[in-house]
Amino acid sequence: MPMKLVILDRDGVINFDSAQFIKNPAEWKPIPGSLEAIARLNQSGYKVVVATNQSGIGRGLFDMDTLNQIHEKMHKALYTVGGRVDAIFYCPHTADSDCECRKPKPGMFKRISETLNIDLTGVPTVGDSLRDLQAGAAAGCKPLLVLTGKGEKTRAEGNLPPGTTEYADLARAVDAILAKGKA
């Protein structure tokens, strides 16, 4: 049986986003319902992977140790509701660097595919910004836009990848993923 996988952006999807970046664990606050939604995916046999641009590292706003502390807080919060993230992939580079991993480029998604040895065709990817959806779509994923974080602005700006579906938040997106999984 093929692996069931969902790829999530972090800021604006799992936790509240900030124009000033999430720079320490105290600033990481889950969006209501998001942790429980991840737990429901886990309980339905899905692996959950996070793919996140973290240019704050490249900008010198925080270091790897701090990023690890933020993710440790996320892991602990998920654990308390019976959920887990199986892997976190991130790009530490700034927007002006010429890396292949920063979304909207699909490099992070290619790494996920290679690491997990899975074809990403049709794998749901949930994001709140156009670049999240573009990176996923370029890797063959099914783009899901949530209207939390930058989602409302992203929807208003348009030019979404073909086949993008929209949901109020991660909890509603997970409802749809699980409904399709049973089909």
Three-state DSSP class for residue 124: strand
Torsion angles phi and psi, residue 163, rounded to 5: 85, 5
170-181 and 34-43 helices cross at what angle (nearest 10)?
20
Q: Residue 144: name the closest of 127, 130, 129 by CA.
A: 127
Q: Out of 11, 17, 132, 169, which one is annotated catalytic?
A: 11
The tokens describing 169, both together, are 């938040």
Is residue 11 part of the annotated active site? The answer reads yes
Secondary structure letter of residue 133 according to DSSP: H
The tokens describing 61, both together, are 């706003």
Task: Determine the Cα–Cα distance for residues 20 and 25; give it in Å rounded to an integer.
Answer: 14
The tokens describing 131, both together, are 């670049």
107-116 and 130-138 helices cross at what angle (nearest 10)?
50
Torsion angles phi and psi, residue 181, rounded to 5: -60, -30
Is residue 119 part of the annotated active site? The answer reads no
Cite the active site residues.
9, 11
